Amino acid sequence: MKKKYSYLVFFLIFSSSFMVYLLQQNGCHLPKIINNYYNDLMALPIVLSITLWTARKMKSNPTLQLTFFQCLAMAFLYGWFFEVYLPESNPRYTADVIDGILYVVGAILFYGWWSWNDRNHIS
């Protein structure tokens, strides 16, 4: 039951982000904060969850954890790629400092969630 709870949280985050994406692609009007920032906030929890699951399977270690530094490093790499590199190399992309901050916040939320899970033995 405890493992299902973590999978449920991941599924809710993933499905809500996917729903926002689908609504955007179909021209639906969304509140500005959701339209512009929700998926940026949820990107790192989704990516890091998949990364952690994959690493655990590859290492056959169900207790393997990502460090705080690894989570922040991923956030900074995402920030650099999507907010510095792509806007300079492709006019379709626009740099936004808030997006970069949201990547960091999302990585911290992910790390806090899994740290809390470990302390409470929920996986």
Instruction: Quick: pLDDT tens for 15-68.
Output: 999 999 999 999 999 999 999 999 999 999 999 999 999 999 999 998 889 999
What confidence category does residue 9 fall into, taking pLDDT thresholds of 50, 70 and 90? confident
Q: Which domain holds residue 101?
A: 2-119
- Give how many domains the chain has, as a whole number: 1
Reading the block at residue 123, the tokens are: 């996986």
Q: What is the pTM of this model?
A: 0.89
R_g of the chain, CA atoms, integer Å: 16
